[in-house]
Structure 1
Amino acid sequence: MLLARLAPAVFVLLWSTGWVVAKYAAFFAEPLTFLAMRYSIAILLFIGFCAATGARWPRSWNMIGHAVISGVFLHGLYLGAIWWAIGEGVPAGISGIIAGLQPLMTAAVAPYLIGENITRVQRLGIVLGFSGIALAVLPKVLAIDTDINLFPVAVNVLGMGAVTYGTLYQKRHLQTGDIRAIATLQYAGALIVTVPLALMLEDMRVTWSVELVAALAWSVLGLSMGAIALLLYLIRRGQVSRAASLIYLVPPLAAVEAALLLGEALTWPMIVGTVIAVTGVYLTNRKSESEGASEGQTGKAAAA
């Protein structure tokens, strides 16, 4: 079946467009304000989706709380940091490469937070991954003639810390439950933290236009809804591990898309550093690609 063969690649391609959309949407609305609108619409659509498909809602306040808290980190703080940083001038391609930190951070702290052991090969992968990202990002950031501020880059990196914690939190507290209902509650958690941040940091500027509506539609339907729908399909067919093997392509895909669609420079340090980082991420996660893939990728897809 054609859909079955293409679904993993389409899922990863959808996810990679998030950085380009963030840069494009910043022309028409402030980042956190845009995200607040995106989450609000996504919640309404997910509620309808859950009702139409008979999703099972959590029956305990404890699980509801865990879902909301995970959404604060997986969506609210993670995407909030990335979109704000991009709005402050961090190139979408650079931000996408920084996203490669997430699986590396997860592997690095997992032994301390959830007791997972890592092998020598995985340790090598962590070192290679961080080295590759440094090679890809630092020359651009530290260039004398650059107009990139270091603080937004630091915030972008903090966003990776948020999604890392959110992924581990979900792995610890949300091993069971209907992914459709959990995803809805996660977006509610994201909205809870994003609205106050938007009120504090922004003027809530929105310039309504066809372009803004298109960016909002893609963010909600293509990313928040489409990626999740494909994930559900992959889980049902037991093909999440195939998508996991392609996750490593997201940073280079984001950089190439930013170069083609936004005209951002694609330098040799970015290319070489990304190849090294992708290799490191592969080595770091090679052991776990077929183990618990559904819950690991649930967190990643929810962050899209």
Structure 2
Amino acid sequence: MPLLDRIAPPLFIFIWATGYIVAKLAAPYADPLTFLAWRYAGVVALMLGLALAARAAWPSPRDMAHLAISGLGIQALYLAGVWVSIRQGLPAGTAALIVNLQPVLVAAAAPLIGERVAPRQWAGVALGLAGVILVIWHKLNIGAGFGPPLLLCLMALLAITGGTLYQKRFVPHFDLRTGQVVQFAAALAVTLPAAWWFEPMRIEWNASVGVAMAWSILVLTAGGISLMFYMLRHGRVTAVSSTMYLVPSVTSVMAWLLFGETLGAQAIAGMGVTLLGVYLVVVQRKTETVS
């Protein structure tokens, strides 16, 4: 197995988990859609430069259209839904639980793209969700009147699930540099007008925002999204999405180390359950590959 195939999942989980840390850094100083618009513009500039320097192949017009559609789901609607819902008061634990329903939806919809989900994998999906609930249970606050923010977070869940399945179905192979130029240009095209319409477009350029922006562009997006696309290209979408179950656990450990947030026995037990669930999903994929 190539080295990148082995290190991609744990590296992706670590990078994806830092998204919540970045959001915590930037939230007091920047409107969410405005921050995301700057982030998308930065990614387009970075990836365009890399693509031109390497003379990378550009997708066909048809594949560009598919990439733009999937990018609206995976990038624009997903990130906007999560960031705005949290800004409007939805507890981060509730948002994390909703977003982490994605592996369940992906597994249910996998037959639509020709993937079979074995019983062992279904058990892993269920265990993973149970583990996530244990990890973030003390942070949940469901039923507290979070109407629009809750709907925004549900939109984010459906957007990233639909975008992931759409991309796997219609354009599984593309150059990561030129493909991301297309996707993030599409995300910027809808996010910038939304930021202008709904927000005062406030952003205070200080050290926290600078670090958050640089990390978002160079690591979270250029690194994390590229790794996710790589895993989607070389693996089953059910197995790839199930790795996201581990993100809340890793985020909780980071928050404990960086911000002194509590990490009790229930959360630690939930991490173990989640790890077992993801193992059941991924090991099934390996067994099928060998056979």
Fold shared per TM-score above 0.5 = yes
Match of 2:218 in 1: 221
State the alpha-carbon separation in 2 of the partners of residues 246 and 142 from structure 1. Answer: 25
Match of 2:184 in 1: 187
Does structure 1 conserve the Cα–Cα contact (< 8 Å) formed by 2:128 and 2:277?
Answer: yes
Residues 163-222 of structure 1, C-alpha deviation per residue, up to 9 Å, x if partnerless? 111110001111232222111111112112222332343221112212211211111112
Matched, 1:128 2:127: yes
Match of 1:67 in 2: 67
Stretches of structure 1 lacking an aligned partner (at least 5 in a row): 293-304
Residues 216-259 of structure 1, C-alpha deviation per residue, up to 9 Å, x if partnerless? 111111222233566799999x899xx96976532211122123
Please state how far the C-alpha of 1:38 moved relative to its aligned partner.
0.3
Shift in CA distance, 273/72, structure 1 to aligned 2, threshold 3 Å: same
Q: How does 1:166-205 map to 2 (within 5 A)?
A: 166-205=163-202
Does structure 2 conserve the Cα–Cα contact (< 8 Å) formed by 1:47 and 1:184?
Answer: yes
Match of 1:22 in 2: 23
Stretches of structure 2 lacking an aligned partner (at least 5 in a row): none
TM-score normalised according to structure 2 size: 0.80
Matched, 1:78 2:78: yes
Please state how far the C-alpha of 1:127 moved relative to its aligned partner.
2.8
Please state how far the C-alpha of 1:284 moved relative to its aligned partner.
3.5
TM-score normalised according to structure 1 size: 0.77
Does structure 2 conserve the Cα–Cα contact (< 8 Å) formed by 1:136 and 1:269?
Answer: yes
Match of 1:140 in 2: 139
Does structure 2 conserve the Cα–Cα contact (< 8 Å) formed by 1:128 and 1:277?
Answer: yes
Does structure 2 conserve the Cα–Cα contact (< 8 Å) formed by 1:97 and 1:255?
Answer: no
Residues 115-169 of structure 1, C-alpha deviation per residue, up to 9 Å, x if partnerless? 432222122223333333344445532489xx89465355334322211111100
Shift in CA distance, 268/149, structure 1 to aligned 2, threshold 3 Å: farther
Q: How does 1:1-304 map to 2 (within 5 A)?
A: 8=8, 9-59=10-60, 61-90=61-90, 92=92, 95-96=95-96, 98-111=98-111, 113-137=112-136, 139-142=138-141, 149=146, 152-227=149-224, 249-288=246-285
Query: What is the root-mean-square deviation in Å for CA atoms of aligned residues?
Result: 3.7
Does structure 2 conserve the Cα–Cα contact (< 8 Å) formed by 1:139 and 1:269?
Answer: no
State the alpha-carbon separation in 2 of the partners of residues 220 and 239 from structure 1. Answer: 25
State the alpha-carbon separation in 1 of the partners of residues 34 and 253 from structure 2. Answer: 27
Shift in CA distance, 116/154, structure 1 to aligned 2, threshold 3 Å: same
State the alpha-carbon separation in 2 of the partners of residues 55 and 266 from structure 1. Answer: 45
State the alpha-carbon separation in 2 of the partners of residues 136 and 148 from structure 1. Answer: 23
Secondary structure of 1:17's counterpart equals: helix
Q: Which amino acid aligns with 1:216?
A: M
State the alpha-carbon separation in 1 of the partners of residues 174 and 288 from structure 2. Answer: 18
